[in-house]
Amino acid sequence: MDGVTAIANILRMEGVEFIGCVPYQPLLEAAAIAGIRPIVFRQEGTGIHMVDGYSRVTNGKKMGVFMMQNGPGAENGFGGVAQAFSESVPILLLPAGMAREKRGVHPNFYPTRSYETITKWSEEMNIVERIPDLMRRAFTKLRTGRPGPVLLEIPADVATAELPEELFNYEPPRVVLQQADPADVSRTAKVLLAADRPLIQAGQGVLYAEATPELIEIAEFLQAPVMTTLSGKSGFPETHPLSLGSGGPSTTAQANKYLKESDLVFGVGCSFTKTNFAQAIPQGKTMVHLTNDEDAIGREFKTEYAMLGDAKLVLRQLLDELKIQAGSARSKNQVLQDDIKLVKEAWLAQWMPKLTSEDVPMNPYRVVWDLMHTVDLDNTIITHESGSAREYLSPFWEARAPRSFIGWGKSTQLGYSLGLAMGAKLAEPDKLCINVMGDLAFSTVGLDVETAVRCNIPTMTIVINNAFMSIYDDSRFPVAIEKYNIKSLSGEFSEVAQAMGAYTEKITAPADIIPAIKRGIAETEAGNAVVLEFITKDEGEYSKF
């Protein structure tokens, strides 16, 4: 067999069912022969976003794979890979490369070297005989430790070289998970039990480890309120009386209150990175950290108590140790739970004029509110977009089950949400998969709605069209606005989507929001991609404190 046939056969052995691409590279035909479905995109970025969403929703149990053409294809994929790297998403990238004799010859692009800064591991398949070993290493790295993109470049001459059958000895590697040092667990249990006002901050490591049951048990044992990071949203059910909601750029009043008042912050499966897309943790807290990434410990906070390992395994260790040290769980703290409820109710009451607004043009908060109260939350996966759409959605959407909400924000590329929703739909075909995006984001990636139509991926895209860049405060560039009107946009996006074969509607009145959403849901159930364009006002007020 030749090199690309060996690669395709290994992908099948790893359970890969489809591969994203923009033609051409030799692996495409080999993959098709092996029974792997190629999904052809309009641009590399959205295709990489799609395999990213697939890996997220499956928690890396099934791996998203994307192949790139030599040269411009690999060059054009950079943004999508950078986004996945910033979000710590495991995806396998297989760019074609120049023949080895052309390596380093200007102006040939060398993916292995160029992608080193935005991948967990970047390597070249330098000889055909090493393909099984390199693929084994790639899948080991994808499934071990902190997730991230892995790249293997396929030089043109290696792709066509013959691999002797006796050297094709591939076996899928086992998943290796790590428990924490028992001494670290014991110290952590002691400080958690001694804290007066502990707070748990859950990141996406809880989701990848499928540790939500253990997290709930820990929170109830300690009677500690739980907030999630934006990427960790849905890792703890927001219907739980100890839930504070999520903390992105916008957050809830209860998360803001209890984060400030806590004396200890226990980060589970998060990085504790200081960023504009997470709530700032005030100084003076006792910091406790559970992570599978040794590089994250002490990165930006003095961390006196740390445990290194898989979130699910270590939380189970911690529960056992808490029971040994405390004897039994703390009594239900009804005062705490009642206060969380009261703070939440007061916060929502402040926002109700926007969430239930009858204004025309419509308020985007009304669109999000009606959407949440129309869909079946237990059977829906939703993701936001960069910018205002994130702020409208993330604080108010009630995430009930793991991976029902895909939050992101370590990098904020416009258009990311469309591919994420497509990947989610491939991972969970029986669920309603929605992305909420603004008009500028749709402008960047909207042509890949045609990919959803052509490839029978029936997602629902909600376009918040206010013909304006609301996320940017006017004070940033007053002269540019006054002289050149730089924040204004235009476009008839439902008509564009209709021309690509999607079911579309344009909604202009609040009374029509829910009926349009119901019709859109019915269309997705019939197998059609849907784009609903909502004409809204410019809304620049966000739930920030």
Q: Which of 179, 170, 154, 149 is nearest to 60 (CA)?
A: 149
Query: Would you state the pLDDT for residue 480?
Result: 85
Sign of CA dihedral 369, 375, 380, 383: negative
Three-state DSSP at 406 gives strand
182-339 and 3-167 share a CATH fold = yes
Integer angstrom CA distances of residue 126 from 98, 152, 267, 283, 536: 11, 10, 41, 50, 54
Q: Please name the residues in contact with 11: beta carbons below 8 A apart, sequence gap of 6 or more.
A: 19, 31, 34, 36, 65
CATH 3.40.30.10 fits 356-535, yes or no: no
**pLDDT tens, N- to C-terminus, the chain (545 residues):** 999 999 999 999 999 999 999 998 999 999 999 999 999 999 999 999 999 999 999 999 999 999 999 999 999 999 999 999 999 999 999 999 998 888 888 898 999 999 999 999 999 999 999 999 999 999 999 999 999 999 999 999 999 999 999 999 999 999 999 999 999 999 999 999 999 999 999 999 999 999 999 999 999 999 999 999 999 999 999 999 999 999 999 999 999 999 999 999 999 999 999 998 999 999 999 999 999 999 999 999 999 999 999 999 999 999 999 999 999 999 999 999 999 999 999 999 999 999 999 999 999 999 999 999 999 999 999 999 999 999 999 999 999 999 999 999 889 899 999 999 999 999 999 999 999 999 999 999 999 999 999 999 999 999 999 987 777 777 888 888 888 887 778 788 999 999 999 999 999 999 999 999 999 999 999 999 999 999 999 999 999 99
Question: Could you give the CA distance from residue 213 to residue 236 in angstroms, rounded to a whole number?
Answer: 9
Give me the residue spans of the domains in the chain. Answer: 3-167, 182-339, 356-535
Domain 182-339: give its CATH code.
3.40.50.1220
Query: Would you state the pLDDT for residue 475?
Result: 80
Question: Could you give the CA distance from residue 7 to residue 31 in angstroms, rounded to a whole number?
Answer: 8
Residues belonging to the chain: 545
Query: Would you state the pLDDT for residue 428?
Result: 99
Question: Could you give the CA distance from residue 264 to residue 260 in angstroms, rounded to a whole number?
Answer: 10
Sign of CA dihedral 31, 501, 384, 477: positive
Exposure string for 448-477, b = 16+ CB within 10 A, e = fewer: bbbbbbebebbbbbbbbbbebbbbeeeeee
CATH class of 3-167: alpha beta
Q: Are 44 and 78 in contact (CB under 8 A)?
A: no
Q: Are 253 and 265 in contact (CB under 8 A)?
A: no
pTM for the complete prediction? 0.96
Query: Would you state the pLDDT for residue 477?
Result: 81
